[in-house]
Amino acid sequence: MNLVERNLFIEKFQETQREILRTKGNDYAAGMASQEGNANFQLIAELLEGAPMDELTVWAVYFLKHVCSIVTFIRTRNLESEGLAGRFHDTANYANIGHTICIENDMLQEGN
C-alpha cells in the first residue's frame, strides 16, 4: 500500500468512526445527548457508585448501556443506529449472562 492508498484508507475508516460515534453516541446517551454527550457514562457511574470492581459490576456497565439505549427510545421515540428489537435482544441476553454470573458466584438465595 503506498502513501496515497494508505491515506485514503484512513480517511474512509475515520468517516465510518465519526458516523458510528454520532449515531451510537446519541442512542446510548439515555435520551440526554442534547444536554450532555457523555450522559450515559455519568448515569451509569452514579448508579454503580460504591460497587466493588468485580465481574458483576463490569457486567452491569454493559447491561446498563443497553438499558440507556432503550431509555433513549422511550424519551425520544427515535433511534439513530441499531433497531429497537435488537436492543431488547441485547438486554435480554445480558440479563441471562448476569444471572449466570450470580449463579457462578453463589450470589442467589435459595428459590431465586
Average pLDDT of adjacent 10-residue blocks, the chain of 112 residues? 96 94 80 80 95 98 94 90 92 97 89 59
pTM, whole model, 2 decimals?
Answer: 0.79
Would you say residue 110 lies in a domain?
Answer: no
Would you say residue 109 lies in a domain?
Answer: no
Would you say residue 112 lies in a domain?
Answer: no
The total number of structural domains in the chain stands at 1
pLDDT of residue 106: 94
Q: What are phi and psi of 27, to 5 degrees?
A: -65, -35
Would you say residue 111 lies in a domain?
Answer: no
The CA-to-CA distance between both ends of the chain, in Å, stands at 58
Q: Which domain holds residue 90?
A: 3-104
pLDDT of residue 21: 85
**3-state secondary structure string, the chain?**
CCHHHHHHHHHHHHHHHHHHHHHHHHHCCCCCCCCCCCHHHHHHHHHCCCCCCCHHHHHHHHHHHHHHHHHHHHHHCCCCCCCHHHHHHHHHHHHHHHHHHHHHCCCCCCCC
Would you say residue 7 lies in a domain?
Answer: yes
Please give the distance of CA 45 from its chain centroid, rounded to a whole number: 13
